[in-house]
Every structure is written in structure tokens, then in C-alpha cells.
Structure 1
Amino acid sequence: MEVMPKQILIVDDSEMTRRLISTAVRTLGDIEYEEAKDGFEAIQKLATKAFDLLFVDINMPNINGLELIDYCKQSEQYYKIPIVIISTEDSLKDQAKGLELGAAEFLLKPIQLNRLIDVIKTTFGK
């Protein structure tokens, strides 16, 4: 039986951050990823594919990260997907709100690659 690769959705309006995360994902092999520039684009992508993990920035145009987390966690279809917040917001309020909404982790930018890889491995049991 063929094992399907894990699917990650990287949601951030910063191309640099998306590139950094996608580079880390590629080092792990057997994981595929897609990118979205904001929450609206992420919702569109969620409707087309089953994702196993989301990386979500808080400050984005259109639909921000907290709104996206809330949308996913209120949805019968998406509530089980683990979500990792990535943000420059070091405010405890935003961190607490994201975790309260159901995010599994909070990573501050600039993202430490080792920490990012550890989060992916832990999430996927690698």
C-alpha cells in the first residue's frame, strides 16, 4: 500500500517567510506543500485538498491568521488540522488568542529552522 505524502499549507503574506518554510519542508522529504498569500487564498486551497498541517501568519490582508484559525476550528471539515502560528507579533495577547482558538504552536519570526523542523517532525511523528 502506497503511503501518501503529508500535505502542508503555508499561509503568509511574506514571500520570504513562505520560501524559508518551504525550504525547511523540502529537507524532510516525503512532504508536499502549497502556499497561500492570505487567509482568503488559504480557504480556497483548503477546499481543494486535504492538508495535514497549516503554518499561519497572524498579520495578513483580507482574512488574517486569527480569523483563519477560528474558521478552521469552527469547521467540521478542518477542525482536526494542526495549526502552527508564525508571526512577528511577540505580544502575549496574540499568542494567547491563537492558542485559545485552537492553534497547536506559536513560532516567532525570525523563524529558527531547527525549531520549525522539530515542530513538523513532532506533528507527523517522524
Structure 2
Amino acid sequence: MTPCPPRHALVVDDSSAMRRQLCRALQGAGGIRTTEAVDGADAWRHLAAARFDLLVTDINMPVLDGLKLVSLIRSGGAHRAMPILVVTTEAGEVDRRRALGLGANDYLVKPVQAHQVVEAVRRLLGAA
């Protein structure tokens, strides 16, 4: 049997500290490769240039926010079925419903611990 290639996640957050924390959690979850983006527009450029198995995104970011990014991804293209995990400070149920309604697969509220991210990612990638 040929081993499965490592999964590749795009991590989108305007906070470099949060991106590092999320990348460490993903890399610890079975060696998921990560690419970082500083906002939704940067993420959109990465998505046009490479294949990803997972998107982890914040909501509140400059230039292009996470909800618009989710909507763009779900509107069509090569990544439209990719699992999307939102990790945000927006704790309201309205925000959660909006993100999930636009096509996010899961929603975590900051502050998050690595094990929460790992559990969500394993669920999402197991279902992908």
C-alpha cells in the first residue's frame, strides 16, 4: 500500500501569533502541512495557486473577511467541497449560524486550545 500524502491546510488569520498557534496544533495532528495567509484576499491568492485539504479561518480580518472568503469558496471552483473550520472571537449564535449557513463545516470560539482544533480537524478530514 502507498502511504497517504500529508494533508495540507491553509490557515488564515490577521494575527501572526494566532496563525502560529493554529499551525502548531495542525502539525501536531498527524503532521498536517500548513500554509499561512494574513487575510481573506491573501488566502484567495493561495487557493488559486495550490491545492488544500482544509481551510482554517478567522472571521474578522482586513481586506476580505472570513465570511466573504467562505462564501467565495462555496460559490464554485476546485476548493468548493474543502472542509472549512472557522476559529473566531465571535461567540454569538447569530455569527455561528451565519458562518455555517455560508458553508463553514465547524465553528470554534477563541480562545481555543490545541486539542479542540485537533479534534475538529480530525472530524472534518475524516469526513472529507
- What are the superposed Cα offsets for residues 11-39 of structure 1, whole Å, 9 maximum, x if unpaired? 00011110111111121233111000000
Counterpart residue number, 1:118: 119
SS at match of 2:10: strand
Counterpart residue number, 2:12: 11
Q: For this pair of structures, how many residues does the alignment match? A: 126
Give, in angstroms, the shift of residue 64 of structure 1.
0.3
SS at match of 2:108: strand
Please say which of residues 32-41 and 114-123 is displaced more in the overlay: 114-123
Give, in angstroms, the shift of residue 113 of structure 1.
1.6
CA distance in 1, matches of 2:5, 2:27: 16
CA distance in 1, matches of 2:47, 2:77: 13
CA distance in 1, matches of 2:79, 2:95: 21
Contact 2:105-2:124 at 8 Å conserved across structures: no
Moved over 3 A (4+): none
1:62 aligns with 2:63: yes
**Identity percentage over the alignment?**
35
User: What CA RMSD, in Å, does the superposition of the two structures yield over aligned residues?
Assistant: 1.4
Give, in angstroms, the shift of residue 2 of structure 1.
4.8
Counterpart residue number, 2:91: 90
Counterpart residue number, 1:31: 32
SS at match of 1:62: coil
Contact 2:11-2:37 at 8 Å conserved across structures: yes
